[in-house]
């Protein structure tokens, strides 16, 4: 199981507005997100399907939201991390920041 305390620090990562960490069944392990239960199901469903299609090449998914924001899903071992991007940062910078966060906080455990 991932360390939920380290994921709470995701809110300090430049570009992260909200986040949710779920397992493959949609169980929430850490979150700071509105409508978390609905989002947990979405993150789990999309993550599982992307993993099935992309296999080991699945690094992240990006979705454009109706409010012109962006939502990302990253694989984290047996879990999926959903992130809503802050409006004042580029998608590429957010992806780099999240991948670095995961490398520093998850992959070293």
Tracing tokens 């520093």 back to the chain, one arrives at: 104
Distance in angstroms (rounded) separating the CA atoms of residues 105 and 99: 10
Domain count, the chain: 1
- Output the pLDDT for position 23: 94
Question: pTM for the whole thing?
Answer: 0.89
- Output the pLDDT for position 3: 66
Confidence of residue 67 (pLDDT cuts 50, 70, 90): confident
Distance in angstroms (rounded) separating the CA atoms of residues 16 and 25: 24
Distance in angstroms (rounded) separating the CA atoms of residues 12 and 4: 14
CATH number of domain containing 72 = 3.30.450.30
């Amino acid at each position: 199981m991932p360390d939920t305390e380290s994921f709470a620090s995701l809110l300090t990562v430049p570009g992260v507005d909200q986040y949710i960490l779920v397992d493959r069944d949609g169980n929430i392990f850490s979150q700071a997100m509105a409508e978390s239960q609905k989002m947990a199901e979405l993150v789990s469903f999309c993550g599982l399907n992307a993993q099935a299609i992309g296999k080991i090449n699945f690094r992240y998914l990006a979705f454009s939201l109706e409010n012109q924001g962006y939502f990302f899903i990253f694989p984290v071992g047996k879990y999926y991390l959903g992130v809503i991007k802050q409006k004042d940062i580029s998608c590429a910078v957010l992806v780099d920041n999240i991948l670095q966060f995961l490398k520093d906080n998850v992959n070293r455990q």
